[in-house]
Chain A
Amino acid sequence: MSAVVDKPSLDRVWRWLAEVPDPEIPVVSITDLGIVREVRYDGDQLVVTVTPTYSGCPATEVIAASICSAMAARGIADARMETRLSPAWTTDWLSDDAKRKLRDYGIAPPVGLAANEQRIDLSRLSRRVPAAPVVACPRCASTNTEVLSPSGSTPCKSLYRCAACREPFDYFKCH
């Protein structure tokens, strides 16, 4: 039977993957985050290549399970996930749509490009620290904000506070 059923096109598979939510921040999908790097068929088996956000992010394994169950629900029983480490994931891959969704959800999206922030002088370590980004409050849009804790509730976030509306909020770090 499987021989006579057409395999879903890769475009369709991409659209399905765009409906798989991130387990920690469900308003954004795994494609919004830029962690799906490639989709292809290996014979009849669908292969989805993803890259982890942070090395220790516990969401990675949940994402793998979500992909396989989302594909199974759409009739693709034979799917596997591959992990690709290089190039390393960066928040530069977040779509504009993803940044808007994060803001609407109450999380300030990354400011600036990691490619610029993290350019490293390979010859010598330096304490030259890039100026802290100006992060706008996702609730009142004031830029009068301050960092409360560089480490936040998940590896990808810092905790900030808005001095205008006094609300604390998460900032999705530029990485």
Chain B
Amino acid sequence: MSVLQEVKTLTINGREASARGDETILEIAREHGIFVPTLCHLHGLSPVGGCRLCLVEVEGANRLLPACTTRVGEGMVIRTDSDRLKGYRRMILELFLSERNHTCSVCVSNGYCELQSLSRDAGITHVRVPYRYQRYTVDASHELFVADQNRCIMCTRCVRVCEEVEGAHTWDVQGRGIEARLISDMNESWGDSDSCTSCGKCVQVCPTGALSEKGKSVAEMSKRKQFLPYLTLMRDKWK
């Protein structure tokens, strides 16, 4: 039996739990009905640990660990809801909101946005850091979809679903730091992309209104992510 399949016992928020060695802290938390906020993580895609919202405290670790990429260990004592973590999560959400242009009232995904709902749950009424209002042009060149980078939070779900599930690798990231942004193919407009299969998976996994279907108006763009677990299940089954 591989080490990863061994059963571990651990404590999460004071509750005792058991887990297989190849499971992550996030999986165990969700299994036990413990809510840990995430934006970049999506079941069925490889984890990246970029949104930093799922950081948890593990006793004995010298720093906070992302629940989505950290595998459980024997005897781990995990805390997911300390005041310190809540404070960090709130500030991280504020940084997301300040980064580009998240004006919910005119967004196609208003009411269906993961950033919006997490911010609401965190009780954010205002953002303490100045808004940066970076300006990006909206790419509406694709016949079915629109990419509005002003709403993008760089979670890279679209990049991963396109590469890992669809196998097209149309999306990727260009530039670095605050200048980093999504590009399709070799920085061509989406409509000119040769690799894009117009499958729309990127649109459905996008947590915000950055990728949407054409013809949707304010608050009309609800996303359907249910297809992803089904697809990965089928893929694993026939592998």
A pairs with B: no
Give the B-binding residues of A (Cβ under 8 A): none
Give the A-binding residues of B (Cβ under 8 A): none
